C-alpha cells in the first residue's frame, strides 16, 4: 500500500482505535483465486502484544474452503471518507483530493471451529457490538444460537504487519486545515464523519525524517 510519509501514522494505538470505531473490514485472500469477504471484526492483543483479529462467516462462504490451509490474508478497515474541494483552502492553486483514514492488517488466517470456542466468539461479538441499553442479550436466545452454530465457522487472524494512513490534511498549514475542517462541517454525514476524525487525530505528531 502506497503511503506518503506525511500521511503515515505507524502507531499501533491509532490502528486499534480505528478498528474499534469502524469494525467492518474487507478480508482478501489470493489463493487458489482472489476472494473477498466483508465482515465485522473484534481486535485484541495476544500475550506477546501482537494484534489478533477475530470474526466469523457462513460455512457456505467460498473463503471457508481455504481456512484449513491457514493462508496469508489482508484485511482493510476504512473510515468515513469524502471529496475535498480546493475552495476550502486559503492557499492556491490546489487540487481536489479525498480525505479518509485506513488501517491494513496482514496475517495468518486460522479457523475457530470447535463448538465452545465458536460460541464464545459469537457471544463476545454480540456483547461488544450490541448498543448499550438495547435490552437484547444473546444469552436469552441460547437455543436459537445453538441452531445457528452448525452453519457458522469462526476464524482468527494472527497479525504480522499493520499499516495506517490518515489523509486528513495534516501536512497543510493551520489556516488551510481550519478551512478544510469548516468545509467538511457543512457537508453530508460522510463529510461530518471525516471532520470528527480530524478533531480526533489532527494535529498529530509527524514521523521524524529518515
Q: What is the pLDDT of residues 25-79, one digit of tens each?
A: 999 999 889 999 999 999 999 999 999 999 999 999 999 999 989 999 999 999 9
Predicted local confidence at residue 203, as pLDDT: 60
Confidence tier at 209 by pLDDT (50, 70, 90): very low
Predicted local confidence at residue 22, as pLDDT: 97
Neighbour-count burial of 124, counting CB atoms closer than 10 A to its CB (0-12 exposed, 13-18 middle, 19+ buried) = middle
E strand or H helix at 22:
none
Predicted local confidence at residue 10, as pLDDT: 65
Mind listing the pLDDT tens digit for each residue in 182-196?
A: 999 999 999 999 999
Phi, psi of 165 (to 5 degrees): -135, 130
Domain extents in the chain: 5-201
Evaluate if residue 208 carries a pLDDT over 50: no
Neighbour-count burial of 115, counting CB atoms closer than 10 A to its CB (0-12 exposed, 13-18 middle, 19+ buried) = exposed
Pair 105, 55: CB distance under 8 Å: no
Predicted local confidence at residue 1, as pLDDT: 79
* b/e 32-52 (16+ beta carbons within 10 angstroms → b): eeebebebebbbeeeeeeebb
Predicted local confidence at residue 207, as pLDDT: 42
Average of per-residue pLDDT across 156-177: 93
Mind listing the pLDDT tens digit for each residue in 73-104?
A: 999 999 999 999 999 999 999 999 999 999 99
Question: What is the assigned CATH class of domain 5-201?
Answer: mainly beta
Predicted local confidence at residue 29, as pLDDT: 96
Evaluate if residue 5 carries a pLDDT over 90: no
Mind listing the pLDDT tens digit for each residue in 132-150?
A: 999 999 999 999 999 999 9
Confidence tier at 180 by pLDDT (50, 70, 90): very high
Strand, coil or helix: 91: coil
Amino acid at each position: 500500500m502506497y503511503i506518503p510519509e506525511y500521511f503515515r501514522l505507524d502507531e499501533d494505538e491509532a490502528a486499534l482505535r480505528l478498528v474499534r470505531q469502524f469494525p467492518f473490514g474487507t478480508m482478501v485472500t489470493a489463493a487458489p483465486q482472489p476472494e473477498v469477504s466483508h465482515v465485522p471484526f473484534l481486535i485484541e492483543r495476544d500475550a506477546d502484544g501482537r494484534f489478533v483479529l477475530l470474526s466469523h462467516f457462513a460455512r457456505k462462504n467460498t473463503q471457508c474452503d481455504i481456512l484449513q490451509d491457514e493462508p496469508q490474508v489482508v484485511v482493510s478497515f476504512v473510515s468515513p471518507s469524502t471529496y475535498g474541494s480546493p475552495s476550502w483552502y486559503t492557499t492556491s492553486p490546489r487540487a481536489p483530493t479525498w480525505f479518509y483514514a485506513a488501517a491494513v492488517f496482514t496475517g495468518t488466517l486460522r479457523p475457530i471451529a470447535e463448538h465452545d470456542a465458536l460460541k464464545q466468539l459469537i457471544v463476545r461479538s454480540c456483547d461488544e457490538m450490541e448498543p448499550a441499553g438495547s435490552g437484547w442479550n444473546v444469552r436469552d436466545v441460547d437455543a436459537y444460537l445453538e441452531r445457528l452454530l452448525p452453519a457458522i465457522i469462526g476464524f482468527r487472524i494472527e497479525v504480522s504487519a499493520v499499516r495506517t494512513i490518515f489523509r486528513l490534511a495534516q501536512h497543510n498549514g493551520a489556516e488551510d486545515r481550519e478551512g478544510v475542517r469548516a468545509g467538511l462541517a457543512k457537508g453530508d454525514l460522510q463529510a461530518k464523519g471525516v471532520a470528527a476524525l480530524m478533531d480526533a487525530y489532527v494535529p498529530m505528531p509527524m514521523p521524524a525524517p529518515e
